[in-house]
Amino acid sequence: MLNDVTPKGLLSLLLVASPAAAVKLWATSYNDHAIYTLNLGGEGLTVTSKSLDCGSEPTWMTLDKGKSTLYCLNEGWGGEGSLTSYKVNDDATLKTLDILPTLKSPVSASLYGPNNNGLAIAHYDTSTFSSFDVKDTSSLSLSQNETYTMAGPGPVPDRQDVPHLHHTILDPTKKFLVVPDLGADLLRVYALQKGSIEWAEIDPVKALPGSGPRHGVFATAGPKTFFYVLNELSNTITGYKVTYAKGALTMERLFDFSSHGPGGSVPAGTKAAELKISPDQRFVIASSRGENSLMMPNLDPRNSTAVPSDPLISFRIDGATGALKHVQTAAAGGRNPRGFNINRAGTLVASALQDDNRVVVFSRDVGSGELTGVVGWAVVGEGDGNGPNYTLFDE
């Protein structure tokens, strides 16, 4: 698989110039049950504070910058999950506002509705879609929920025993939420009710059998809208053309190919993870776990031993057709890049390496869409494995 790395894709680990203004971000970590506040500045990436109020298994974070509020999900492996709201201070440290117990296994959230007063959540283990009233950020409450069942297991029975809702995505018109269901091979669709945070389910989109849709993104190009979903079980990306008519959202499948691009393949045990769109809507980036088939220079400049890494794979969107063209397969900064995020300018990518207890920030060329070097890294999460799971920029 090393020949998968183009010379350009092999990241030089020379520290490229750090951004002029301090950049702040957060990372969640399981093994020490914490949210970290990190600062990227002249000294590289440094940990500035830690909060333990997001419960036992902190995972997904959602920022409402306008309200200076950060929401954090706790998967609650032991039983109950929780949703914590934080006031974000100027230095990105956090002050707890409220902690609401939720059904187990919330894994992804999206703000929606008037003034971002709704927070929609996908629950993985418990096959549930739920929404919360977050109008008063210090007093959160459950609004609506729906739990799903299946008549029998899907084509990949050990992973598709029951529905597994994995992501919540607000569409560009802000009138629909789409929720990939890895267990049921569906993209569930919810129509948002005007002027409130209520929703009603409409017909889902059928994903390819056994694909296991996990995370998705919408892309707009002029009048056109596309949807891309990364499938964890088939390790493919499916592209759709989106159309709106009569209060419904429908999707027509355009393609389905390897997470490494057309004709690509992955080793056994690979689990595709995250999919993000660049802020300019011109590129998508996928992360893939369990490959470890790339080698990258050690992040410690005094250590000449190369280390294994999973990939971050970038694709350029053809705005006329919705096709994706492979641009780069780059080292993700280590093993198990479950969550990563792009800053608003599109110039930085922060990657959470769950199996290496590390967060790495890369510089990114907005024109070519390529990752161009490491601008900082930090140890996040103490103890073996199950380190950082998700990262988010404070902006």
- What's the min distance (Å) between Cβ of 167 and ligand NAG? 9
**Which residues are CB-neighbours of 20 under 8 A, at least 6 positions away?**
none
Q: How far is CA 205 from CA 122, 184, 188, 314, 392, in A?
A: 17, 11, 7, 25, 29
Among 94, 107, 324, 361, binds ligand NAG (CB under 6 A): 107
- What's the min distance (Å) between Cβ of 95 and ligand NAG? 23
Contact 218, 227 (CB under 8 A): yes
> Which part of the chain contacts ligand NAG (CB under 6 A), choosing from 4-12, 246-254, 277-285, 301-309?
301-309
Q: Which residues pair with 81 in a beta bridge?
A: 102
Contact 209, 185 (CB under 8 A): yes
- What's the min distance (Å) between Cβ of 222 and ligand NAG? 31
Among 103, 207, 230, 327, binds ligand NAG (CB under 6 A): 103
- Give how far the C-alpha of residue 347 lies from the chain's centroid of Cα atoms, to the nearest Å: 17
- What's the min distance (Å) between Cβ of 145 and ligand NAG? 4
- What's the min distance (Å) between Cβ of 154 and ligand NAG? 18
- What's the min distance (Å) between Cβ of 14 and ligand NAG? 18
Number of other CB atoms surrounding residue 31 within 10 Å: 18
Q: Which is nearer to ligand NAG, 180 or 261 (CB)?
A: 180
Q: Kindly determine how many residues on this chain lie close enough to bind ligand NAG according to the rule CB under 6 A.
A: 17
**Please, which of residues 134-163 interact with ligand NAG by CB under 6 A?**
142, 145, 147
**Which residues are CB-neighbours of 376 under 8 A, at least 6 positions away?**
15, 18, 40, 44, 45, 360, 361
Q: Which is nearer to ligand NAG, 3 or 305 (CB)?
A: 305
- What's the min distance (Å) between Cβ of 83 and ligand NAG? 12
Angle at 145 between CA 52 and CA 391, to 5 degrees: 35
> Which part of the chain contacts ligand NAG (CB under 6 A), choosing from 13-21, 245-253, 275-283, 299-307?
299-307
The verdict on 307 binding ligand NAG (CB under 6 A) reads yes
Q: Is 379 exposed, middle or buried (0-12, 13-18, 19+ CB in 10 A)?
A: middle
Q: Rg for the chain (alpha carbons), in Å?
A: 20
Q: Which is nearer to ligand NAG, 60 or 71 (CB)?
A: 60
Contact 308, 292 (CB under 8 A): yes
- What's the min distance (Å) between Cβ of 105 and ligand NAG? 7
Q: Which is nearer to ligand NAG, 80 or 280 (CB)?
A: 80
Contact 335, 254 (CB under 8 A): no
Q: Which is nearer to ligand NAG, 69 or 127 (CB)?
A: 127
**Please, which of residues 56-85 interact with ligand NAG by CB under 6 A?**
59-60
**Please, which of residues 313-372 interact with ligand NAG by CB under 6 A?**
338-339
Nearest residue to 167 (alpha-carbon basis) of 207, 205, 124: 124
Q: Which is nearer to ligand NAG, 23 or 275 (CB)?
A: 275
Among 21, 79, 305, 320, binds ligand NAG (CB under 6 A): 305
- What's the min distance (Å) between Cβ of 381 and ligand NAG? 12
Give alpha helix (H) positions in the chain. Answer: none
The verdict on 298 binding ligand NAG (CB under 6 A) reads yes
Contact 333, 325 (CB under 8 A): no
What gap in Å lies between CA 254 and CA 151, rounded to an integer? 29
What gap in Å lies between CA 5 and CA 3, rounded to an integer? 5
- What's the min distance (Å) between Cβ of 363 and ligand NAG? 23
What gap in Å lies between CA 353 and CA 285, rounded to an integer? 16
Return the half-sphere exposure (C-beta side, CA atoms, 13 A cut-off) of residue 261.
17
**Please, which of residues 7-66 interact with ligand NAG by CB under 6 A?**
59-60
Give the binding site for ligand NAG (CB under 6 A): 59-60, 103, 107, 128, 130, 142, 145, 147, 298, 303, 305, 307, 338-339, 389-390
